[in-house]
Amino acid sequence: MSTTATANAGGLGATLRQLDWRRYVIYIGFVVIFGFFAVLLRDQGFLSPNNLLNIFRQTATITVIAVGMTFVIACAEIDLSVGSVAGLSSVTAAMGIAAWGLVPGILTGLLTGVLVGTINGALVSLLGIPSFLVTLGMLGVAAGVAQWITNSAPQPILNDTFNLIFGGGNFGPIPGLLFWSAIFVVLGAIILNRTRFGRQVLATGGNRTAAAFTGVNTRKIKFSVMLLSGVVASVAGMLYAGRLESGRYQWGTGDELSAIAAVILGGTSLFGGAGSVVGTLFGALLIGLINNGLILAGLDSSQQQVVRGVIIILAVALARKK
């Protein structure tokens, strides 16, 4: 082998050794699991266009919630209340539409997220209470209020325009839920990677003291990400309401865990300072892919939980550490 060829081979080997493969674990895992199910379940219709579209539909609401959660976790905080906020917002939007009409109903749903996010943000940023404890308490409060004001009864939504806009219809050839998911991912990626606010979120999560010394108002940033998470969760609640044509306190139950898993699988550091909205999208799709494949494979719910948990643990164990 010539000296030039040897040098080129050595350079390529050095480049491969320096490549941080953990950064791409979510994408590699997605391709591997997709290929596995495509081969195993080819006769069960896994690759049919309807089934693939169902995976996107089923993960759209989690994706929306997870985009907001990406900012929270990148800031080294956590929000366990998002599932309950989604349920409460679905209820308040439905009740607002029934009482006052379309636009006031939508505003009522959004204001629910604003109120909860403001309370969470104030307690975390101004009083210094750990976000885990604040949002754990808010999880119970939001769920309890939603059940209380409805007396545990579903709140039907008879407004066709609301149901069409919020996930029940299509925008041209594009399913509404897919449209909402794409909008949030694109906006989230731009804000996190291309704006001053996004840089300050990452700086606050990476090293709060250093960020404060460089002029970042870390309290304001923490307040902002908690508020953002609440508002995004309220939109997700209205997507549930529009798709299912009713508000229920049960909507969103457990979504906080799925959203956190999607964010961590997507490469956002649980300790803050690093985040990827596009990675979060693939994390949510991976969870939906696993759920869909296990159902088509005929596993019962307990077996699905075991397999899903093992896959998520392995993926997180292999993911990039920060």
The residue ranking higher by pLDDT, 16 or 25, is 25
Q: Which CATH number fits the domain that encloses residue 234?
A: 1.10.3470
Is residue 303 over pLDDT 90?
no
pTM of the model: 0.89
State the pLDDT at residue 322.
46
Within a domain: 8: no
Lowest-confidence pick of 70-84, 134-148, 188-202, 301-315: 301-315
The residue ranking higher by pLDDT, 136 or 171, is 136
Mean pLDDT of the chain: 88
Within a domain: 195: yes
The whole-number average pLDDT for the span 49-62 is 90
State the pLDDT at residue 282.
93
Within a domain: 260: yes
What is the C-alpha to C-alpha distance for residues 229 and 235, in angstroms, rounded to an integer?
A: 10
State the pLDDT at residue 224.
96
State the pLDDT at residue 315.
65
Confidence of residue 96 (pLDDT cuts 50, 70, 90): very high
Within a domain: 12: no
What is the C-alpha to C-alpha distance for residues 306 and 277, in angstroms, rounded to an integer?
A: 27
Is residue 186 over pLDDT 90?
yes
Is residue 133 over pLDDT 60?
yes
Within a domain: 35: no
The residue ranking higher by pLDDT, 176 or 109, is 109
The residue ranking higher by pLDDT, 199 or 321, is 199
Within a domain: 278: yes
State the pLDDT at residue 14.
57
Residue 249 exposed, middle or buried by CB count within 10 Å (0-12, 13-18, 19+): buried
Domain that holds residue 131: 45-319
Within a domain: 32: no
Within a domain: 17: no
State the pLDDT at residue 116.
97
Is residue 285 over pLDDT 60?
yes
The residue ranking higher by pLDDT, 300 or 283, is 283
Among candidate residues 25, 99, 52, the one with its CA nearest the CA of residue 268: 25
Number of domains in the chain: 1
What is the C-alpha to C-alpha distance for residues 208 and 43, in angstroms, rounded to an integer?
A: 53
